[in-house]
Structures are given as C-alpha cells and as structure tokens.
Amino acid sequence: LPVVVLISGNGSNLQTFIDGQMAGELPIDIKAVVSNRADAYGLTRATSAGITAQTLPHGGYPSRDEYDRDLTALIEQHQPELVILAGFMRILTPAFVSHFAGRLINIHPSLLPAFRGLDTHERALAAGVKEHGCSVHFVTPELDAGPVIVQAKVPVLSDDTADTLAKRVQTQEHRIYPLAVRWLAEGRVEMRADGVYRDGKRQ
C-alpha cells in the first residue's frame, strides 16, 4: 500500500512503520515523509532509511487554506492510498480532510472521546482517571472526533508524572498504530458513513 507519513517531531511512531516495512511485516510502501518543521528528527529517520523526506514550512503562509492546498498537492504527487498523521501538530482544514476522507488516519494519546486536543497526559492526571491510553482514528473535520479504529488502555499509577504516563502510552502507540495500518493495508478496515467497519462488522 503506498503511504505518506506526516510528522512534526521525533517520529517514534514513524519509526515503527519504517521498521515494519523493512522487516517485511507491514505491507506498506512509504513513498515520502513530510514535515512542517525542518528540525523534525523524524526527517532524519526517513533519510537514514532511504525514504524521501520533505519539509513544507508553514511560516510565511498567509492562511491555513493556502498551506493545506500546497500540502495536498505535495502529498498527491506520491499518489498515496493512505495518509498517516504521526505527531503532525497542525489542525487541518475541512478541505484537506475531505480531500483525503477515508484514507487519512491519526493517533491520539487518549482514550477518545476523552481528552481531545493537547496536553492529554497532564489532563488525565488532573482528572484523576484510573485508565488512560491511545486511539487510532479516521480523521474527520472536527478535531480528534473521527471514528476510532483501535484503542489501547494503560493503568494510571499513583506516582505517575505526565512523563511516566506518556511513556507507558507511547509503548502502546507503537503497538496499535502499525496494527491499524496493517488492517488498512489488508483491506480489513474501512470508514463508511455510519462508522468504522472491521472484517465487515461495525465497530
């Protein structure tokens, strides 16, 4: 499956896709990694693996619409069947999201619908929840509100800090994100008007 991965930073989730592809365990072909930040370490991960790494800086763009139009064109040059957001820290316009509807996925570090938006680990601790986790979901125009493909739960421990909790969640991200991508690559998961279907069953 031809894919493009969008990042803004470290790219540890990207690394799981690179490793899965290289090991022949994930039936994907990463055509390009695109970042909005030139200093994203994930670009180095891509280049080291021989994958095309591109930066489209958002500075200088007068509007989100114009940035997203250029981003769409850049991505479409690679003709991906799946666009993977992996720590891409920008809100996307409805035009961008509709253009890639059904082939655009994200990972969010919470058990959606809980804690949409930023600083999820801090907010989970402040709320005193006993369980936290991460969700892979299809992207729809409303932020972090698209239908969920798969989630993983972790316990919140009494001595957790945002950092220790984030690490526990990331370990699960690195497990469920490649899993969801595999399901998509194998044609086992799709977004329909009324939600996500896996193996023909509504989730």
- Examine residue 178 and tell whether it contacts ligand GRF (CB under 6 A): no
- Examine residue 164 and tell whether it contacts ligand GRF (CB under 6 A): no
DSSP state of 9: S
- Examine residue 146 and tell whether it contacts ligand GRF (CB under 6 A): no
- Examine residue 93 and tell whether it contacts ligand GRF (CB under 6 A): no
Which CB sits closer to ligand GRF, 14 or 75? 14
The 10 Å Cβ neighbour count of residue 194 is 8
**Contact region with ligand GRF (CB under 6 A), list: 18-26, 57-65, 107-115, 143-151:** 107-115
Which CB sits closer to ligand GRF, 73 or 91? 91
State how far the Cα of 40 lies from the Cα of 55, in Å rounded to an integer: 9
Compute CA 170 distance to the chain's CA centroid, rounded to the nearest angstrom: 12
**Contact region with ligand GRF (CB under 6 A), list: 5-13, 30-38, 67-75, 139-147:** 5-13
Active site includes 78? Answer: no
Task: Report yes or no: 95 and 68 within 8 Å, Cβ to Cβ.
Answer: yes
Binding site, residues? Answer: 11-13, 64, 89-92, 106
| DSSP codes, 73-103 | HHHHTT--SEEEESS--SPPPHHHHHHTTTS
Residue nearest to ligand GRF according to CB distances in the complex: 87
Side-by-side strand order, sheet with 2-7: 53-55, 29-35, 2-7, 82-85, 104-108, 131-138, 148-155
Which CB sits closer to ligand GRF, 80 or 87? 87
Task: Report yes or no: 56 and 27 within 8 Å, Cβ to Cβ.
Answer: no
Which helix (H) or strand (E) is 200 found in, with range? none
- Examine residue 109 and tell whether it contacts ligand GRF (CB under 6 A): yes
Among the listed residues 3, 6, 13, 156, the single contact to ligand GRF using CB under 6 A: 13
Question: Which residue among the candidates 78, 99, 108, 121 is catalytic per the annotation?
Answer: 108
Which CB sits closer to ligand GRF, 69 or 182? 182
State how far the Cα of 42 lies from the Cα of 33, in Å rounded to an integer: 8
Interface with ligand GRF by CB under 6 A: which residues?
A: 7, 9-14, 86-87, 107-109, 134, 170, 173
Q: Which residues are catalytic?
A: 108
